[in-house]
Amino acid sequence: VQIAIGSATQLALVVMPTLVIVSFFLGPNPMALVFNGYEMASLVIAVMAAYYVVQEGESNWFEGLQLLALYAVLGVVFFFA
């Protein structure tokens, strides 16, 4: 669990800002870290769900299935939004 949280933190704090800076040099439309309402809501929901699972220190197959279902629902919402 520690490895997954550390990896996600590294992605959020190092890789994404680096991609924004590099995008200014590579393409005509630079990438921005501006999130709309759907993206912010899904980020908050995903963080809360992950925190709920990680808080206990262990999980079972049903919690994993619930997380997969949540991510599938978020994917469908983004597909049709």
What is the Cα gyration radius of the chain? 16
- Where are the domains positioned within the chain? 1-33, 35-81
Contact at 8 Å (CB) between 53 and 67?
yes
* Proportion of the chain above pLDDT 70, given as a percent: 99
Q: pTM for this one?
A: 0.67
**What does the DSSP 8-state code read for residue 27?**
-
Closest CA relative to residue 75, chosen from 38, 25, 23: 38
The pLDDT-based confidence of 1 (bands split at 50, 70, 90) is: low
pLDDT digits (tens, 9 = 90+) for 66-76: 999 999 999 99
